[in-house]
Structure 1
């Protein structure tokens, strides 16, 4: 019985290690937890941008990867682009903001 318990423990440990490695992140791919965190950050940034009176009519796309927010799309002025960047930086969980917005 003791040998069977040892083998069973080894199999369970190996399965656990393989599962945890499959969910880990790499420099180009997020882990499961990071993906969920980034989804929350993206949602918070979108809400903050839409809630700002200066940016309500702007066509701004928001993407997040490992806490880095990328803003793209179109705004009416350079001031609106700068405001969107400021708003995004103010959201919890944002480590930096890349501004790829274009002025119409």
Structure 2
């Protein structure tokens, strides 16, 4: 009986909330972040840009600095094409 109660408490501790992710969601977001960073670095036009990537529940936030509006738009487009991305928040700024 005590083991069952402990198991329920452990599983509840890993559950996701609106402001926190469960363990599985965190790993998914880590993978999405890595894929977005790789896609940005793999694009010759964006390679030199200073773009930060953060992901929460599939929503990717891009911040940092780019040299031009076309670079900014390209970064958003590249990010949207990554599997698992549900939305993109563009908080990048022009240098």
TM-score (norm 2): 0.98
CA positional deviation for 1:38: 0.4
Alignment of 1:39-50 (within 5 A): 39-50=30-41
Q: Which residue of 55, 79, 83 maps to 1:88? A: 79
Q: What secondary structure, in the 3-state scheme, does the structure 1 residue paired with 2:78 have?
A: helix
Structure 1 partner of 2:51: 60
Structure 2 partner of 1:76: 67
CA positional deviation for 1:68: 0.2
CA–CA separation in structure 1 for the residues paired with 2:22 and 2:73: 31
CA–CA separation in structure 2 for the residues paired with 1:44 and 1:80: 18
How many residues in Structure 1 have an aligned counterpart in Structure 2? 95
CA–CA separation in structure 2 for the residues paired with 1:88 and 1:76: 18
Bigger radius of gyration among the two: 1
Matched, 1:12 2:3: yes
The Cα offsets for residues 61-95 of structure 1, whole Å up to 9 and x where unpaired, read as 00000000000000010110000000000000100
TM-score (norm 1): 0.90
Structure 2 partner of 1:5: none
Instruction: Write out the 4+ residue segments of structure 1 that deviate beyond 4 Å after TM superposition.
Output: none
